[in-house]
């Protein structure tokens, strides 16, 4: 049980990190798109 809980926490951490990276990429795309216009 303890091992599965720890693995779940690791997955949640990786997901939150991935979400942050994706959000930053989207923000950069929006900025570059606005700069082009």
Count of CB atoms situated within 10 Å of the CB of 11: 10
| Number of structural domains in the chain | 1
Burial (CB < 10 A; 0-12, 13-18, 19+), residue 10, is exposed
Give the sign of the dihedral formed by CA 28, CA 33, CA 36, CA 37. Answer: negative
Tell me the pLDDT band of 35, cut-offs 50, 70 and 90. confident
Q: What is the pLDDT of residues 11-22, one digit of tens each?
A: 999 999 999 999
Of 28, 25, 5, 31, the residue nearest 13 (C-alpha) = 5
Domain residues for the domain of 28 are: 2-34
pLDDT value, residue 1: 66
- Model confidence, pTM: 0.58
């Amino acid at each position: 049980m303890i091992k599965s809980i720890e693995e779940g926490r690791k997955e949640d951490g990786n997901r939150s990190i991935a979400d942050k990276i994706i959000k930053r990429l989207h923000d950069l795309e929006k900025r570059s798109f606005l700069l082009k216009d």
